[in-house]
Chains A and B, each alone.
Chain A
Amino acid sequence: MNKNKTADTRATAGANLGRRRFLARSTAAAVGVGALGGTLLSPAAWAAKAVGDHASATLLRMARDIYPHDRLEDKYYAQVMTPLAEKAETDADLKALLKEGVAALDAQAQQHFGKPYLDIAAETDRVTLLKAQQDTPFFQKIRGDLMMGIYNNPELWPRFGYGGSSWEQGGYRYRGYEKNDWIEGV
């Protein structure tokens, strides 16, 4: 996940071990990158009946714009959006929130860029539209669910370098709490 880990900063850190770690991690991350390809979104994979293909695809795009991690596959964002859209099938208020939220976003998109949100190519333009929506219950609902769905997802913790529950393995007492091979003076 780490954007700072370029060859340059590695060179200044001057640690061969660190470089090997970086390569190993990049390889692991690359396994998951394929499906994304920047703009390739597949609404059919998760679209729910209640909101329809267009709204589903818009929500997924919006999800990626709210917490953009280019190396994370769509499925992790879809895992958050799918239960929402499914719940909307039986929850009229939620259905209205999602459909009207997407409609409002598209209306703004049409007004400022002459096309629906989904068709706006530049992330900065889409972010401008989202900023205008960020205090709405619609946006807050999506953001809140995503925050929990991405950063509180144990499946993703290793990708962020977070260990999660450790007591089952006896904590880190004998598993590297002291390990640091780059800070000088220690």
Chain B
Amino acid sequence: MTTAFDLNDDSLVVIVGSGAGGGTLSQELAEKGIRCVVLEAGKRFERSDIENDEWKMFSKITWLDKRITAGPTALTQTSPNLPTWLVKGVGGATIHWAGVSLRFQEHEFKMHSLNGDIAGANVLDWPISYADLAPYYEKAEAKLGVTGTKASGLPYHEPSSHFKVIAEGSKRVGAHCRPAPLAINTQARDGRPACQVTGFCMQGCRFGAKWSTMESSIPKAEATGNIEVRPDSMVLRIEHDKTGKVTGVLYVDKAGNQHFQKARLVAVAANSIESPRLLLNSASDMFPEGMANSSGQVGKNYMTHTGTGIYGEMPDTVNMHKSPVVPGLVSTWADNDPSRGHVAGYELEILHIGLPFMSAFLKPGGWGRELANSLANYENMAGFWICGEDLAVESNSITLHPTEKDQYGLPIPVVYKGNHANDTAMIKHSNQQATAILEAAGATKVNVMDRYPASHNMGTNRMSERPQDGVVNKWGQSHDIQNLFISDGSQFTSSGAENPTLTIVALAIRQAEYIADQMQKQMI
């Protein structure tokens, strides 16, 4: 069944992006009988497009439109045009995510109340509490089929060799390693099969065992007949009327033809670079600094998580590739304990990357015998990616390049990210703890990797109680424009120590209820 809506139909919800935020929102609205057009910049992939090959899938699905990496970190040199590792395609980054599904902790919604003003940072409480979101976390866990939760009833994955090594190392230093709650079926559920442990979660799941909007939400939304997905459709700008209400979006299709799709409301869910970029590109006489930007916070407070990797070379074979990519977590330091020398916390996430990526990321640009010897030890490696909360800093931002344009004629985004002193202190602490665990498990050498291109991108259209502090209210609705919503991780007020997807999904489920209610009441 293919639904097709008219460009002049101004009763539609237009959703920009089809990942965790947009894909979920489309399903939730569709199931309430609300008709939506989903505009996705990337193409549509089939299950058969998914290969167990890191570089092939990187070339196939990654958002490779030019961006500029800026800021005083090594990434600016090692990855000058790829600040992030995201997906361009129907399903967005849910094709690529490792499935780690964590709720934010209660205190992470009120980091300003908890820690007070922090010099050089722009920390703010969320306008919602954990209690507000808890029922939606429950629904999100059921929707995604998160292992180890009551909501799904699915057991955790059985411990892999990689998990066992880290679990034992953790025990020896007095820390605790637990199985990761994953949106990857351990039993057939919801039309998707059980995990076969290919070890390639981040290249897309060849079996469809991992939840993604590509596999789940989008097909379900389309089955209602209320959703039309238009792939290869890059939104150029959002238009508004004389009162400031949005009227629709201008987009360009695969053939290069421009179309204007009218809308009753627009929900932007294009991830934390493209979403603020679209608002900035939608500047007009009425909104000279960009749409929804009376606060000046659009594109600001860009957060990525601390994001270092750390790999130990063990005395014997680990075969970390024979495992769900993230089999377990050490959450011992996920709390807010300033006595460590930093506020906020981090998760040590056991994470496998394959030899091809390991050779690129272990020491970016590196060569020589020491690196070669470590890579020769690949099968003995065990280690982590570290998901540490980085603080909102106003200068960490997405801005438009003054002259350079992309293939659509849009100014390319400049992605600036530096580390706050708190981030630096946390990175040091977390690297030390991870090293201790790996050494306790027998590592003869531990390799610390600098942050590589971020898959977690948050904060650039943040939620705030007061309109002057952020871009959207507690429903993800623009403070300035009633019928404009943000539905992705860019609405995060803080980054938490958790992978963002489950929270994005929970917020989208909650937002869909609000949108339906407001439409019903003719408020929007």
Contacts and interface: CB of A to CB of B under 8 A. Distances in A.
A161 B197 CA distance: 17
B52 A167 contact: yes
A9 interface: yes
Q: Which of B54, B194, B359 has the most CB of A within 10 A?
A: B359
Given A2-B380, A173-B195, A186-B159, A167 B167 contact: no
Interface of A: 1-5, 9, 12-13, 15, 18, 21, 65-69, 123, 127, 130, 134, 143, 147-148, 150-152, 157, 160-167, 170-173, 175-180, 182-186
A164 B372 CA distance: 19
Interface stretch (B241-249, B260-268, B350-358): B350-358
B206 interface: yes
B371 to A, nearest CB: 8
B200 interface: yes
Contacts of B206: 167
Interface stretch (B127-135, B317-325, B416-424): B317-325
Contacts of B55: 148, 152
Nearest to B327: A177
Contacts of B393: none
Contacts of B322: 163, 166, 172, 175-177, 179
The SS class assigned to the A binding surface is: loop
Nearest to B316: A182
Residue among B158, B159, B313, B319 with max Cβ neighbours from chain A (10 Å): B319
Nearest to A1: B376
Interface of B: 51-55, 158-161, 164-165, 167-168, 171, 194-200, 206-207, 313, 315-319, 321-323, 354-356, 358-360, 365, 367-369, 371-373, 375-380, 441-442, 444
Contacts of B52: 164-167
Contacts of B355: 151-152, 157, 160, 162
A12 B316 CA distance: 11
Contacts of A134: 367
A113 to B, nearest CB: 19
A2 B168 contact: no
Given A172-B322, A177-B197, A143 B367 contact: yes
Given A143-B367, A180-B164, A161 B319 contact: yes
A161 B198 contact: no
Contacts of A183: 164-165, 168, 316, 441-442
B200 to A, nearest CB: 7
Given A68-B368, A151-B359, A178-B159, A160 B375 contact: yes
A160 B53 CA distance: 16
A166 B324 CA distance: 12
A4 B315 contact: yes
Contacts of A182: 315-317
A152 B160 CA distance: 25
Contact of A151 (B321, B358, B380, B442): B358
Given A166-B200, A185-B171, A13 B323 contact: no
Contacts of B315: 4, 9, 12-13, 182
Nearest to A146: B367
B229 to A, nearest CB: 26
B165 A21 contact: no
A165 B322 CA distance: 11
A185 B356 contact: no
Contacts of A127: 368-369
Contacts of A3: 373, 376-377
A173 B53 contact: no
Contacts of A180: 161, 164-165, 317-318
B147 to A, nearest CB: 15
Nearest to A163: B321
A48 to B, nearest CB: 23
B321 A68 contact: no
CB-based closest 6 A-B pairs: A161-B379, A171-B196, A151-B359, A165-B52, A180-B161, A162-B355
A24 B126 CA distance: 58
A150 to B, nearest CB: 8
Given A134-B367, A151-B355, A161-B378, A15 B171 contact: no
Nearest to A67: B372
A9 B313 CA distance: 13
A126 B206 CA distance: 45
B363 to A, nearest CB: 11
B161 A179 contact: yes
A152 B367 CA distance: 15
Nearest to B379: A161
Nearest to A139: B367
A39 B323 CA distance: 40
Given A183-B164, A186-B159, A186-B164, A173 B377 contact: no
Given A151-B358, A167-B200, 4 more contacts: A3-B373, A173-B196, A179-B161, A182-B315
A136 B498 CA distance: 40
Of A148, A157, A162, A184, the most chain B CB neighbours within 10 A belong to A162
Contact of B198 (A15, A123, A157, A166): A166
A2 B318 contact: no
A4 B355 CA distance: 18
Contacts of B167: 185-186
Contact of A167 (B159, B168, B207, B371): B207
Nearest to A166: B198
A45 B460 CA distance: 56
A2 B381 CA distance: 11
- In this complex, which of B167, B207, B323, B356 has the most chain A Cβ atoms within 10 angstroms of its Cβ? B356
A178 B196 contact: no
A183 B437 CA distance: 13
B315 to A, nearest CB: 5
A151 B378 CA distance: 11
